[in-house]
Structure 1
Amino acid sequence: MNKRDILLKSSIVGLLFAFAMFFLWPDNPTALGDILSENPDAGFSLNKSCPPGFKLNGENECISQNLYLQYDSPNNKGLGGLQTGLPELREGFSPQEIDLGRLLFFDPVLSGNGTMSCATCHQPDKGFSDGMATGIGNGDLKLTRATPTLWNVGYLRKLFWDGRSDSLEQQIEGPLFAKEEMNNTPENLLKTINEIETYKILFAETFPQKDNPEIELDEIYTAITAFQSSLISLNSKYDKYAHGYHNALSSKEKEGMNIFRSFVARCAECHTPPLFTNQEFAIIGSPEPEGLPLDPGAQIPKNDSTLRGAFKVPSLRNIEKTAPYMHSGNFGTLRETVEFYTKGRGHAVPKGENLLIHWHIWEPDLSDYELDRLVDFLKTLTDESFTPKIPEKVPSGLKPSV
């Protein structure tokens, strides 16, 4: 019997719990996040319970619990109906791995000079982005692309705007060891973290089967991956509507949803529910900031000229929180962003570039009213009810950075 069958045939208590999560729990990130918090007066004690949205099984693994598990179409093919299943999640991590990853995520000790953490760019109150057009790296260096959200990242098959990483573990190495970002080295990271006795105790608790008392790189990657995979956002107004509570959306929001899913606007053909991404690459011809050359995107890591200007279709989950928009952060508002798609196919492509614009990008000629309704709908995808607790302190003794 597969996992979905087990979940679907589980007790009615489990199903009632799932409904309670979606319809009865208050949208109070701090209260829910406290489930993950450490006791600051008693030092560091890793959580032995799964975060909200997960259930602990007999193997000390946290398994996702959500109403989308009851649907039978998990591959996001075509437009996708409202009751469409999710792709496979990176799950099965222990509560200790997730909580240790949380501490590491907010600890500046991971950077070369101890001033940046993962949360410096992926800030919880900004949709796990940073609110800037492009990220800021080591030494206040302005980076070339916007910081993507981490909500629901455990469902994604490709990471980074250009899709150059196939796993979260591989993705983590990028910013850690890039000179323009956290500017660390594997050797320095291991030396630094192995000198922190608290971390050695926590890693030993998290990985009890290990023989080597020294903290290893793979363990660091696993813990951060576990935490990132626990960042689930599936309890928005849209989700409540999709699961049958049709009063969750206002009339204008429903109008926006119908425009979004229509064969005129065609938004849902790339931003396919319930993740609101089809996880494919698309060349849409969005403009670069004035004076900057075209970003070749996926052409470089894929070594494929047909992907020049292609970027991974981003999820629209919590999109209200992650302005500015596009890979270059060139649009400051959702209204500007949706308007881009109705201004004409390839209208912003620089002279001399012959990009293979995605066939879904055309000239829908949407009215101002329709664009406003699209924005109304996009805001219904906001859900931060499972935002984790920001630690008040971290094992390095440095100030947690966000």
Structure 2
Amino acid sequence: MRSFKLFQSTFLVTGCAALLALGLGGTARAQPAGGAACNPAADGSNPCPRKLHLHTQQPLSTMATVGKAMFFDPALSGSGKFSCASCHVPSLHYGPAGKTSVFMGGVTGDREGRREIPSLTYLERQPPFSIGPDDAVADDVAPTIAVPVTGGAHAAKSASNTASSAANLVPQGGLFLDGRADTLHQQASGPMFDPDEMAGLPEKVTARLQT
């Protein structure tokens, strides 16, 4: 148990620090316009684009350097062949390589993942999972519902009826494609120990980190 706690305190902290330090995101600032003015134009273009301001690249801290090494280390997997970077390729915005929608992993490389591999580019900006009013402009802050939700049918959503469908509540935020994790700490060990992905074992990972 003590060894596994050592793994948690090392991997889940250094791995998360490395993802942030590698420059996977920036600060997005919304343009002044909002509401109906930001609905898609007739030609499908976005009238209210958000400008991305990337953080200035900084030297990696010691902890982030360790986390980066772990991100690229195949020895942490059950097969010794797959690292985090095997699925999340840095040159492809930390998204998948190849034309297949899922990754073949597991101890022998013949286990098929259950979902498509997401990009990690904006991972640190993802808000916690919530169900609340849809906001077409700002999706990086969990919504707050100020009034009780009452029963009754809601209008179907489309690009042209935002006023009548404004009361619609939608699931949003969270990590993994179903939002089941709210923090990078909760998310990090999922792929590491999934038998269909990296298929690592806690004791093997702990031993690797200790050496």
Bigger strand fraction: 2
Bigger helix fraction: 1
Kindly name which structure, 1 or 2, has the bigger radius of gyration based on alpha carbons. Answer: 1
| TM-score, with structure 1 as normaliser | 0.28
| TM-score, with structure 2 as normaliser | 0.50
